[in-house]
Amino acid sequence: MTSSQPPQRTSPADPEVTTTPGISATATAPLKQTERPHPLTPFVRGWLVFVAIAIGYGRELITSSSENQFESGGLTWILPLLGIVVVLAAVAGFVAWYFTRFVIDDEELRVETGAIFKKSTKIPFERLQSVDIIQPLAARMFGLAELRLDAGNSTTKLRYLRRAKASRLRDYLLTRAHGQQASIRDLDQESAASVFTDLGVGDQPLVQVTPQRLIISFLLSTEWLIPAAISIIIVGVTASLGVVPLALGGLIPLLIGMLSLIWRRVIGMFNFTLAESPRGLRITRGLTNLTSQSVPINRVQGVKTSQPLLWRLLGWYRIDIDILGHAQGDSESNESTASSVLLPVASREEVDLALGRVMPGFGLDGIELHPAPNRARWLRWFDFWTLRYGWNDRTLITEQGWFNHERDIVPHAKTQSVNVQQGPLQRRLRLADVHVHTPRGPVNAIAHQLDEHAARELALTQLDRARVARAAERERRSVAAVSDGDHSDEAGLLRAFGAGRDQLLGSGGESEVFALDHDRVLRLYRSRHEAPQRTAAQLQELYESWRGIDIGIELPLIIDTGERGGRFYTVDRRFSGRNFSSWLQDADMAQRRPALVSFLDATEQLQRLPSPVPGFARLIGDGAPQQFGTLSELLATMLQGPLASSRARLEHDVPGIVEVWNRLHGDLAERSISPAVVHGDVCPPNAYISQGTRGPVVTGIGDFSPHTISADPLLDVAGALIFLELEPYADAPADAAWLEAVAVERHGRDIVRWIDVYRRYYGFYFSNAYSFDPALYAWCLRQLSR
Amino acid sequence: MEELFAPPAYEWQRLSPKYRSMRLLTTLIFVPILFTIPAIIVGVASGKWWISGVIWAVAAVILIIRLIFVPRNWRSWGYVEREDDLYITHGVMFRNLIAVPYGRMQLVEVESGPLERAYGLASVTLKTASPETGARIPGLTPEEATRLRDRLTELGEAHASGL
């Protein structure tokens, strides 16, 4: 089924022509556009091959000339051969480019390669571990970059793309890799990366290593000083004896080693920048080859800080990290994305800053470090005083080394296994080592030369700590997974309406509300909220029946309802003005008091709304409308639901609750009133305030709900007064008392008794809040204990 | 200090006695072969057979030491399945105790080479994300190895946690 027929070139402007070559071309697969890397790719790669050959050949030339076996005839013989190799490499490069196609869109990430043996790699977005951009010098000159995708143990390379495109794709892929929904079209604005640093526009540099500091730190590092000193000694000794050529055999490998060290530590780490990007930490580095590498924080398995002897004078440290799946091959080679270096050189403050980002909440303070016992000097005479270990509730720390002081930090949750070792000499001294294993990488947490009992205790307690930390991590993940699941389909739904989470106006227990435009809002019901469709249909009917009735305030209106991705939504008319609850937070008392009076006015206006059914009735919810003979019967029915779950709790929390209940029923039986529409939840979060001619006025009340009934209109008046106590601003209780006085003045002293009765009613009604809103439940208890 | 390497409140499971026999046999075969070949080569090449004699003497000493240590080494091995982790201990001179939480196991391997098969033995290796873990239990009967593998896999799934 492999077809060797080359795919047709697809122009991006022509969306109908689609090609999907090779294995992936199944009859049912949707055909979509694929694209090739940049056409200059074969040239850049050919050039790299040429350079590689030239260097290899040049090295050959040098070694043969040093052995005096170089003949000029060899050169003419080898040049055409070199030409053929370069041409072949160019052809191979062209073929590789021609048959490489990729798709990165909202649905998938797929890379297809191979002329004869086709290979199609499809990487699920969630499996992406890091997306790095690498710009070898040759590619950089053409403004091209390689995109390197790490997923599991495989690395997929896309080379070469335009730099801007590569960084755009990287941003998109990292967003998707974090499990967030995004559309590739949303990212089409240019996130211009600079040629020199490759930092995106949104990137905030945290730590930048200046070239001076890098070079000084390199010159003072032990790894450099030792071979340098040895070379000088060798040259000095042999020069004084006049036998320098004899030493070349030893000197040349030493020099090559030093050059490669310079290449890795200076050229490769040049302009090192650790930056905070919107999608996590990012490292960019390199003088000739520019590498931009993301640091997947959730994959960090451990951190190591090290300090060579001379760096101690300057207070400098180097930080390496273990990243899961990163450490295949050379951990520092400039080509590899898998660099384990977090900072090549950093001051103490920068170390704290970087550690805080990589292991949030980590602090060295408060960790008690235990030294090794004195008898360890018989085995570690050279650095026994530096051996330390310690832990807190999240991490284990071990320290060792005098010449190069190292500190290994392993979060308990990342502990793989624990090992206690004891050699024959250690047994004699009653000492043992404890190894805490982490995945492959520079971090090796070993607590050296502990007392036997301390070692055993450390190992066993470490297992416990690791177990607790793993359980906590699992818990955290499952919580995150649930809320992510809630959010992922939500993002798609919001996008369909052209909205985003930033347009969130408010959220409650049942739904979240997003602004769509000036006139409409999207109300997104929570997926776990039961039967929102029925409620919405009943509300829609109710609102329609009130259309054209002017009671002086705005009422809600449902424009559209629907369901998408398992989430039910309605599009509602948007209230003018601002949410009353949030307005109250910032308003001063002089503004608040008149506004509260208008809130009371608006509440009283509600009773002018006609009820769709005569008499006492439930208007919204299961089996509604449901009529009742008396107020007391209706309210008893309304309380059944909440009390079913909270009854036991109330019996425990309120002494004499049965008496409170009976008193409520006795009182309600005495109330004689003609029924009117009762909103049931008139509170500032459900009201809207606008600037009127004489100051701010409450102009709308929204969010009718299953609380809505046809009953005593005083229920809403009482609610407006007493729910005000729940507002989070400081003077809310005082305002509530003041507003109650206003209401009493209006309606007479008689209502004081009924407000008190309805306090108890609402106290029972919202008592099921014990399971989700402790503050509301506390309020309920206060009402019931009055 | 026996208690340093003892599992807390559990008894070590020991290896099959056949493992000791196998190690004794391999010692008896390989040590003489290893020393006899150079001894003969030296003897033939130089004609000084006394050097070969010295080599054989060394071989005999090593053989005796190994034969003494094989049973001790066999006795030193132990493993125990705890509630949340597997403990393995071994080593006479260099002693080692490793604890692998079930939640960290990525792979459980059962291996049996030709010689092990001849003795009816198998070994179980636990792999975690760390290459240093190296938790291997040799010298198990095939039934015990399979049981251990199934049990560990089961426990590993029950305790599984991400990295």
CB A279 within 8 A of CB A178: yes
C-beta atoms of A477 and B84 within 8 A? no
Residue A168's pLDDT is what?
83
Residues A530 and A586 both lie in one domain:
no
Residue A679, in any domain of the structure: yes
Q: Region A365-386: what's the mean pLDDT?
A: 88
Q: Region A122-129: what's the mean pLDDT?
A: 80
Residues A683 and A745 both lie in one domain:
yes
Residue A767's pLDDT is what?
85
Which residues make Cβ contacts (< 8 Å) with residue A133, sequence separation at least 6? A145, A146, A147, A148, A163, A166, A167, A170, A193, A198, A290, A291, A292
Could you say which DSSP state residue A517 is in? S
DSSP A66-121: HTT---HHHHHHHHHHHHHHHHHHHHHHHHHHHT-EEEESSS-EEEEE-SSS-EEE
- Alpha-carbon distance of A225 to A553, in angstroms, equals 82
- Alpha-carbon distance of A95 to A118, in angstroms, equals 12
Residue A76's pLDDT is what?
65
Q: In the sheet where A511-515 sits, what is the strand order?
A: A504-507, A511-515, A520-525, A567-573, A558-564
What would the pLDDT profile of B58-71 be if each residue is shown by its tens digit?
999 999 999 999 99
Residues A655 and A560 both lie in one domain:
no
pLDDT over 70 percentage in chain B: 92
3-state helix, strand, coil in chain B (%, to 5): 55, 20, 25
Which residues make Cβ contacts (< 8 Å) with residue A621, sequence separation at least 6? A535, A538, A706
Number of helices and strands in chain A (H, E):
20, 32
* Higher pLDDT among residues B81 and A334, named by residue: B81
Four-CA torsion B33, B35, B38, B42, nearest 10 degrees: -130
DSSP A344-375: EEE-HHHHHHHHHHHSTT--STTPPPEEPPGG
C-beta atoms of B133 and A460 within 8 A? no
3-state helix, strand, coil in chain A (%, to 5): 45, 25, 30
- Alpha-carbon distance of A169 to A607, in angstroms, equals 58
Which residues make Cβ contacts (< 8 Å) with residue A729, sequence separation at least 6? A584, A585
CATH number at residue A692: 3.90.1200.10
| pLDDT band at residue A32 under the 50/70/90 scheme | low
Q: Region A80-95: what's the mean pLDDT?
A: 80
What would the pLDDT profile of A61-86 be if each residue is shown by its tens digit?
555 444 444 444 555 667 778 778 77
Mean model confidence pLDDT for chain A: 79
Q: Region A25-47: what's the mean pLDDT?
A: 68
CB A340 within 8 A of CB A321: yes
Residues A616 and A673 both lie in one domain:
yes
Residue A154's pLDDT is what?
72
Which residues make Cβ contacts (< 8 Å) with residue A54, sequence separation at least 6? none
| pLDDT band at residue A2 under the 50/70/90 scheme | very low
C-beta atoms of B129 and A456 within 8 A? no
C-beta atoms of A463 and B99 within 8 A? yes
What would the pLDDT profile of A447-468 be if each residue is shown by its tens digit?
999 998 899 889 988 988 888 8
CB B129 within 8 A of CB A439: yes
* Higher pLDDT among residues A648 and A436, named by residue: A436
Q: Return the residue of B nearest to A300 by Cα.
A: B163
What's the one-letter identity of residue A174?
L
Residue B129's pLDDT is what?
82
Taking residue A260's Cβ as centre, other Cβ atoms within 10 Å add up to 11
| pLDDT band at residue A783 under the 50/70/90 scheme | confident
C-beta atoms of A417 and B96 within 8 A? no
Q: Region A135-155: what's the mean pLDDT?
A: 82
Task: Show residues of chain A in contact with B96, CB under 8 Å.
Answer: 419-422
Distance from the Cα of B108 to chain A's closest Cα (Å) equals 15
φ and ψ at residue B123, rounded to 5 degrees? -125, 150
What's the one-letter identity of residue A653?
D
Chosen for mutation from B84, B132, B133, B159 (greatest number of chain A CBs closer than 10 Å) is B132
Residues A660 and A755 both lie in one domain:
yes
Could you say which DSSP state residue B77 is in? -
- Whether B85 contacts chain A with CB within 8 A: yes
* Higher pLDDT among residues A757 and A475, named by residue: A757
pLDDT beyond 70 at B102 = yes
Q: How many distinct structural domains can be found in chain A?
A: 2
Distance from the Cα of A418 to chain B's closest Cα (Å) equals 5
Residues A531 and A601 both lie in one domain:
no
**Token duo for residue A51:** 């350079």
- Can you give the pTM of this predicted structure? 0.61
Residues A627 and A770 both lie in one domain:
yes
pLDDT beyond 80 at A279 = no
Domain end residue (candidates: A529, A551, A574): A574
- Residue A601 is part of which domain span? 578-785
Q: Return the residue of B nearest to A412 by Cα.
A: B163
φ and ψ at residue A639, rounded to 5 degrees? -80, -15
Could you say which DSSP state residue A267 is in? I
- Alpha-carbon distance of A334 to A266, in angstroms, equals 10
User: What interface predicted TM-score (ipTM) does this complex get?
Assistant: 0.89
Residue spans per domain, chain B: 17-73, 78-159
Residue A574's pLDDT is what?
83
Residues A587 and A730 both lie in one domain:
yes
Domain end residue (candidates: A574, A599, A630): A574
Q: Region A139-146: what's the mean pLDDT?
A: 86
Handedness of CA A652, A654, A655, A661 (dihedral sign): negative
Residues A758 and A647 both lie in one domain:
yes
Residue A345's pLDDT is what?
93
Q: Using CB atoms, which residue from B4, B130, B162 is nearest to A432?
A: B4
Residue B3's pLDDT is what?
63
Residues A529 and A618 both lie in one domain:
no
Domain end residue (candidates: A519, A549, A574): A574
| pLDDT band at residue A22 under the 50/70/90 scheme | very low
Residue A730, in any domain of the structure: yes
Task: Show residues of chain A in contact with B100, CB under 8 Å.
Answer: 416-417
Residues A583 and A554 both lie in one domain:
no
The rounded Cα A672 to chain-centroid distance in angstroms is 58
Residue A25's pLDDT is what?
38
Distance from the Cα of B53 to chain A's closest Cα (Å) equals 32
Q: What's the topology of domain B78-159?
A: PH-domain like (2.30.29)
pLDDT beyond 70 at A685 = yes
Task: Map tokens 């200059």 to a residue.
Answer: A40
Across A53-62, A276-285, A288-297, A663-672, least confident range? A53-62
Residue A623, in any domain of the structure: yes
Residues A725 and A770 both lie in one domain:
yes
Taking residue B162's Cβ as centre, other Cβ atoms within 10 Å add up to 11
C-beta atoms of B135 and A452 within 8 A? no
Q: Using CB atoms, which residue from A324, A440, A456 is nearest to B4?
A: A456
